[in-house]
A and B are shown apart, each in its own frame.
Chain A
């Protein structure tokens, strides 16, 4: 077994770390070092020498002096040096989008930084150019060859237009879906109301016929909503309309605190309260109150019966 071999070696061979031995890293040394835990298992390869670090400043300075164009005005060269927004130390508010942690890989931040640098240099450059008398704006009747051909610019414009159209179509779809959903609810509520009214009317007529009531009030139109304190149940449709106009948060608060607040016994450990523990504004999948307790969709037979009506 390898283990026993190492043990033997350890007894007879003492590692000498500060030795001037040319082959200090002999096999035995390595084995001992491994045993004592200095070396970890894995692959060992010789470290190649790092690339030479050369920075011959004198030569660079000499060359720089050689190629410098000292006789030329600024106008011939048009160079502007600007401090980038990310490097300013005394900046109280860095530019929009450039936060304290600037990440090169964040495309938006990076491009924004370049844009800001270009913008600053343009402002400085424009001033200098105007002083020097060089025009920056070309007159409208000046026709010259552009870097990109007209066909290419047409393609670019088409792409932009198509992008915008796509965005608009998405928004339109989203709003249409919402309206459809709402519209369906409204339709259901209207149908239900119609049936309800019809039923009431028939009942009232029956009562009158049987002689239980001698008022013909039911023929008149619905009484005006007046008088404070009348706790008339607003129809389902009207409730729906109200709710959809309001912020759902507002609607919830209305339900909770409106009309004298909720009745006693609002805190109960029931299935509903258990379901609603996650969040009041989250959609409750299993709650019966989602459609309103009464407004459950009637069964198939009832629906077919009422279809003709």
Chain B
């Protein structure tokens, strides 16, 4: 019996990709949304090496939710950030979400408009993955999100810039070939305590009943640069303290307490007088 030859171009992954696209296209035909895809946004989401597991899951979740996103292998932290611009050009992406992990616990996020545009660096906290069982909502895999912003985004200029970047990055373009035509979930960006809080809710009912899908994270703006991953600094957040600095100060404070205590003790012994009360010893004998 002749051996079956594998047809070229239809190995493993590719086959499923082709099938999936075909499926989507058929569904698209069912609903008359045959519009033209104008808003060409492509986001490259990837991480550096040394990122904790929550960062990896965040990338996985974002790839899940955003059909206009692509991922790359982990980049070495030692290489220059400007290399990322070249990687994006190769993958023909015009936005980039780059997650950096430091010391195995801190996660930073770079959001950049790749060729010339501005870039922002955030510090990411309170990461919760979509996989956690406390998030009970679910949504279509590539549906378009409704983006909800707090009014505080309009109050300062740098926040307006960040808002614009968010809309272009997290919003799925209309008529994207991989997207579903329904709007069944909402991304919420709120400003509280000087930080940007992200939530993802499923729209369960038309009257506004929501269930949380996840992921969750909180971003603190660190710096805004005029170029993509470099160039001049346009904005520095005065309230931002790097987590390293915070830990450093805490440790110094603790050491200060001990050293200060020792100094106070030695100081006291120096100030202490031999006789606190002016008593003449001879008064006992002579009256």
Contact = CB atoms under 8 A, between A and B. Distances in A.
B99 to A, nearest CB: 20
Contact of B234 (A54, A113, A145): A54
Given A114-B197, A136-B184, A69 B39 contact: yes
A56 B235 contact: yes
Interface stretch (B6-14, B44-52, B145-153, B278-286): B145-153
A137 B174 CA distance: 17
A77 B144 CA distance: 10
B203 to A, nearest CB: 6
A121 B148 contact: yes
Interface in B221-243: 224, 226, 232-236, 238
What size tier do the contact residues of chain A reach?
35 or more
A142 B206 CA distance: 18
B64 interface: yes
B138 A147 contact: yes
A78 B234 contact: no
A174 to B, nearest CB: 26
A194 interface: no
Given A43-B259, A53-B238, A118-B199, A76 B174 contact: yes
Given A114-B190, A146-B140, A81 B151 contact: yes
A139 B263 CA distance: 75
A147 B139 contact: yes
B27 A147 contact: no
B153 to A, nearest CB: 7
Contact of A77 (B64, B171, B188, B267): B171
A42 B260 contact: yes
Contact of A54 (B157, B188, B235): B235
Interface in B148-193: 148-154, 157-158, 160-161, 163-165, 167-168, 171, 173-174, 180-184, 186, 188, 190, 192-193
B236 A41 contact: no
Interface in A116-140: 117-123, 125-126, 129, 134-138
Contacts of A91: none
Contacts of B113: 67
B172 to A, nearest CB: 8
A47 interface: no
Contacts of B181: 134-135
A42 B264 contact: yes
B210 interface: yes
B77 interface: no
Contacts of B138: 146-148, 153
A126 B206 contact: yes
Contact of A129 (B158, B163, B183): B183
Interface in A72-104: 72, 75-84, 86-87, 104
Interface string A39-76: 00111000000011111110111011011110010011
Contact of A81 (B142, B154, B193): B154
B150 A117 contact: yes
A2 interface: yes
B263 A41 contact: yes
A110 interface: yes
Interface stretch (A155-163, A220-228, A254-262): A155-163
Nearest to A62: B226
Given A66-B117, A119-B210, A146-B141, 11 more contacts: A41-B267, A53-B238, A54-B235, A60-B235, A67-B161, A78-B145, A78-B147, A110-B192, A113-B192, A118-B186, A136-B182
Interface of A: 1-3, 41-43, 51-57, 59-61, 63-64, 66-69, 72, 75-84, 86-87, 104, 110, 113-115, 117-123, 125-126, 129, 134-138, 142, 144-148, 152-153, 155-156, 159-160
7 tightest Cβ-Cβ pairs between the two chains A and B: A121-B148, A119-B208, A83-B151, A104-B193, A145-B141, A42-B260, A79-B147
28 contacts: A41-B267, A42-B264, A55-B236, A56-B226, A60-B158, A63-B117, A63-B226, A67-B168, A78-B183, A79-B149, A81-B148, A84-B152, A84-B190, A117-B148, A118-B148, A118-B210, A122-B146, A122-B208, A125-B146, A135-B181, A144-B27, A145-B140, A145-B142, A147-B64, A147-B139, A156-B133, A156-B135, A159-B133
